[in-house]
């Protein structure tokens, strides 16, 4: 009844036990499948620059047959670093599609981190050479870390990881995170690191191309994470036309992803590979790219997962929300 309605609030600490990497991976896999079947809808993205250098965006969508509706308000506030906080901020709201009333308000930072890492993991599973043993990652932030973590979980043959920083300095804490799981060390020559790697992961603010196209050798797979706004890029000019390009959503990738720089390059949605509508059919010499811009459906399926878990286990804050 309207007067008995309640709203569940899940803060950062509440999510700690609700976000399990394997479960998030399956929720993201389902999001891509829903998108491929067009059972889930992705609404137009809002992504706008703010005074002071920040970016604010809204990603929203629904799955009508599963009564799933909601949005994520998120963006990037670089000044947060000076406050000791994370620049990426996100809040997810799940809504009852029958009434329009909110069901849950969820801290979206951890969800965004894990769902993006899981999407990258699916890209590696589907597109990277199975015999891949070496990777390089550009960036050492939250997203770079989760991308490497998932890569090591899903690719048992991955032995060597080289990372690159914007200032060329070591990040001992980043190395310590993966100690014992791989041979990890700083690389200072971007082109050499790319040339020596089977897998390249770019997880930076996406201000400019990070390496030369000629450094990418046949057989390489690239997960491009950082370009999610008009004008951002990490990959060099001339690379995408040489590649087999995979995206989460064709229109979105051409608007705000790496594909904005090569909009005429043919691309395949990763969900279509998962549903069998399209085939990856990787050849050993293929260069493959997964252009990851992030789908609202990823946020919604993972948010549903944690909200259901919270209700079942009595986690979070339940407050009266009469109408």
Task: Judge if 157 and 289 occupy the same domain.
Answer: yes
User: Is residue 27, in this structure, part of any structural domain at all?
Assistant: yes
175-203 b/e (C-beta count within 10 Å ≥ 16 → b): eeebeeebebebbeebeebbbbbbbbbbb
User: Is residue 119, in this structure, part of any structural domain at all?
Assistant: no
pLDDT of 1: 74
Task: Judge if 239 and 189 occupy the same domain.
Answer: yes
Task: Judge if 202 and 132 occupy the same domain.
Answer: yes
Question: Which residue do the tokens 């998030």 mark?
Answer: 24
Q: How far apart are the first and last CA of the chain?
A: 9
pTM value is 0.94
Task: Judge if 181 and 228 occupy the same domain.
Answer: yes
Task: Judge if 101 and 238 occupy the same domain.
Answer: no
Task: Judge if 28 and 174 occupy the same domain.
Answer: no
Per-residue pLDDT tens digits for 150-160: 999 999 999 99
Q: Distance (Å, rounded) from C-alpha 169 to C-alpha 77?
A: 23
Per-residue pLDDT tens digits for 293-314: 999 999 999 999 999 999 999 9
User: Is residue 28, in this structure, part of any structural domain at all?
Assistant: yes
User: Is residue 120, in this structure, part of any structural domain at all?
Assistant: no
User: Is residue 40, in this structure, part of any structural domain at all?
Assistant: yes
User: Is residue 46, in this structure, part of any structural domain at all?
Assistant: yes
Task: Judge if 289 and 303 occupy the same domain.
Answer: no
Residue scoring higher pLDDT (86 or 257):
257
Q: Contact at 8 Å (CB) between 231 and 252?
A: no
Q: Distance (Å, rounded) from C-alpha 271 to C-alpha 193?
A: 30
DSSP 8-state assignment for residue 144:
H
CATH number of the domain encompassing residue 34: 3.30.1780.10
Quote the percentage of the chain above a pLDDT of 70: 100
> pLDDT at residue 2 above 90?
no
Mean pLDDT of 96-104: 96
Q: What are phi and psi of 266, to 5 degrees?
A: -65, 145
> pLDDT at residue 3 above 90?
no
Which residue in 141, 149, 263 sits closest to 202, CA to CA? 141
How confident is residue 92, by pLDDT bands cut at 50, 70 and 90?
very high
Per-residue pLDDT tens digits for 245-274: 999 999 999 999 999 999 999 999 999 999
Residue 76, judged by CB atoms within 10 A of its CB (0-12, 13-18, 19+), counts as buried
Continuous segment of H or E residues that includes residue 103: strand 102-107
Task: Judge if 237 and 213 occupy the same domain.
Answer: yes
pLDDT of 113: 96
Which range of residues forms the domain containing residue 73? 2-111+297-320
* Residue 2 CB neighbours (<10 A): 9
Q: Distance (Å, rounded) from C-alpha 301 to C-alpha 306?
A: 9
Question: Which residue do the tokens 């493959």 mark?
Answer: 288
Task: Judge if 279 and 310 occupy the same domain.
Answer: no
Task: Judge if 146 and 280 occupy the same domain.
Answer: yes
Q: What are phi and psi of 125, to 5 degrees?
A: -60, -40
pLDDT of 52: 85
How confident is residue 285, by pLDDT bands cut at 50, 70 and 90?
very high
Task: Judge if 81 and 153 occupy the same domain.
Answer: no
Mean pLDDT of 53-78: 96
SS3 at position 92: strand
Q: What domain count does the chain have?
A: 2
Per-residue pLDDT tens digits for 39-56: 999 999 999 999 988 999
Per-residue pLDDT tens digits for 192-242: 999 999 999 999 998 899 999 999 999 999 999 999 999 999 999 999 999
DSSP 8-state assignment for residue 179:
B
Q: Contact at 8 Å (CB) between 57 and 295?
A: no
pLDDT of 128: 97
User: Is residue 181, in this structure, part of any structural domain at all?
Assistant: yes
User: Is residue 121, in this structure, part of any structural domain at all?
Assistant: no
Task: Judge if 88 and 138 occupy the same domain.
Answer: no
């Amino acid at each position: 009844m309207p007067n008995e309605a309640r709203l569940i609030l899940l803060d950062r600490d509440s999510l700690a036990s609700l976000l399990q990497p394997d479960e998030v991976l399956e929720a993201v896999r389902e999001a891509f499948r829903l998108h491929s079947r067009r059972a889930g809808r992705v609404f137009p993205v809002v992504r706008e620059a703010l005074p002071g250098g920040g970016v604010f965006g809204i990603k929203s969508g629904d799955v009508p047959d599963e009564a799933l509706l909601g949005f994520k308000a998120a963006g990037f506030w670089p000044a947060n670093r000076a406050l000791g906080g994370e620049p990426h901020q996100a809040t997810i709201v799940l809504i009852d599609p029958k009434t329009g009333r909110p069901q849950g308000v969820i801290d979206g930072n951890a969800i965004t981190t894990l769902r993006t890492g899981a999407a990258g993991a699916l890209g590696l599973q589907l597109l990277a050479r199975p015999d891949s043993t070496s990777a390089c990652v550009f960036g050492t932030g939250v997203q770079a870390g989760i991308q490497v973590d998932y890569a090591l979980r899903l690719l048992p043959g991955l032995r060597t990881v080289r990372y690159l920083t914007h200032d060329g300095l070591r990040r001992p804490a980043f190395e310590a995170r993966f100690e014992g799981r791989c041979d990890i060390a700083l690389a200072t020559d971007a082109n050499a690191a790319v040339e020596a790697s089977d897998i390249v992961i770019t997880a930076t603010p996406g201000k400019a191309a990070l390496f030369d196209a000629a450094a990418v050798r046949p057989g390489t797979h690239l997960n491009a994470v950082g370009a999610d706004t008009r004008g951002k890029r990490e990959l060099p000019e001339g690379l995408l036309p040489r590649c087999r390009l995979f995206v989460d959503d064709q229109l979105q990738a051409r608007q705000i992803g790496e594909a904005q720089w090569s909009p005429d390059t043919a691309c395949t949605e990763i969900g279509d590979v998962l549903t069998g509508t399209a085939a990856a059919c990787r050849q050993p010499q293929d260069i493959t790219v997964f252009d990851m811009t992030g789908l609202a459906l990823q946020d919604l399926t993972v948010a549903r997962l944690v909200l259901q878990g919270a209700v079942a286990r009595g986690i979070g804050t339940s407050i009266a929300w009469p109408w």
